[in-house]
Amino acid sequence: MTTGTVPGGSFTLPGTSMTVNRMGFGAMQLAGPEVWGPPRDLEGARAVLREAVASGVNHIDTSDYYGPHVTNHLIKQTLHPYPDDMVIVSKLGARRGEDKSWIPALSRQELIDGVHDNLRNLGLDILDVVNHRVGGFIAPTEGSIEAPLTVLAELKRQGLIRHLGLSNVSPGQLAEAQTITEIVCVQNMYNVAHRSDDDFIDDLGKQGIAYVPFFPLGGFTPIQSSKLDAAAASLQATPMQLALAWLLHRSPNILLIPGTSSIKHLRENLKAATLELSSEMIAELDSIGGTAGQ
């Protein structure tokens, strides 16, 4: 399987030889409703993965607790053996209850088991990047992350993980983590309307660390803003395409992982990387933060 180069530029994770196209793909929506069970359309989900890679996507974000195990099985069944430049990023720190709840899984044994589950279900001997999921479902929660991250750092030294990242963390938790191991990426909630990480992104950029916003299109409730709608209409684009384009313009260390189970939406998302935004339009979009919904 060959890949092209998706528009939007590329980024090399710090201290690594991993260069990824900035427009990636998030696999969460490939699972069934509520990120539980198999997709309604199995062949459709596999077609989305194939289309993403054929279009130049070489950065896939996943987790073995999506489904659980569903998205990793899909990725393996569809894409293995993986293209040489493919970077698969997984997450540890949670598990799913039988009631579909999201339960912290931060004990030593849970983390060790999680790494081996990911390796087996993805068909890998070593995981490219593992993000340690720290906070709640959407926002960070303060507290030390030394104990679980120390376990992951040990697994990295054992050769089961190449690089480590963090998800749902504060700047203070990043600083603590960097006393334990190198961190190549941070994954937090951020989009044109939710801007609490503005300073954090700039600081990470100075360190050469990637910032990967989850819910780049607003999460479960899409971003609503008359300013976004008007600006998108002027470019003959959708509001969601413009929201993605704004993120690419926001900072060169931002990597995108919009997810979808639709080839049509995948193509729309990738096309967002081709949008050119004027300085006036960027300023107008910048002003959305704090005014979404008006």
- DSSP bridge pairs for 25: 60
The residue with greater pLDDT, 2 or 63, is 63
Cβ(156)–Cβ(149) under 8 Å? no
142: tokens are 């303060």
Tens of pLDDT, residues 120-158 = 999 999 999 999 999 777 789 989 999 999 999 999 999
100: tokens are 């579909």
The mean pLDDT of 20-42, rounded to a whole number, is 97
Instruction: Tell me which residue has tokens 């260390």.
Output: 253
Strand order through the sheet with 161-167: 25-26, 59-61, 87-92, 127-133, 161-167, 183-187, 210-211
- The answer to whether residue 292 scores a pLDDT higher than 50 is no
Cβ(243)–Cβ(249) under 8 Å? no
Catalytic residue among 65, 66, 82, 211: 66
- Single pTM value for the model: 0.95
Residue 199, exposed/middle/buried by CB under 10 A (0-12, 13-18, 19+)?
Answer: exposed
Q: Which domains does the chain have, with CATH numbers?
A: 10-222+251-262 (3.20.20.100)
Residue 81: asked if its preceding bond is cis (omega within 30°), the reply is yes
For residue 189, give the 3-state DSSP assignment.
strand
Q: What is the mean pLDDT of the chain?
A: 94
Q: Is 66 a catalytic residue?
A: yes
Look at residue 248 in the predicted model and tell me its pLDDT: 97
The mean pLDDT of 24-45, rounded to a whole number, is 97
Look at residue 294 in the predicted model and tell me its pLDDT: 37
Helix (H) or strand (E) holding 128: strand 127-133
Banded model confidence at residue 22, pLDDT cuts 50, 70, 90: very high
Cβ(133)–Cβ(92) under 8 Å? yes
Look at residue 4 in the predicted model and tell me its pLDDT: 55
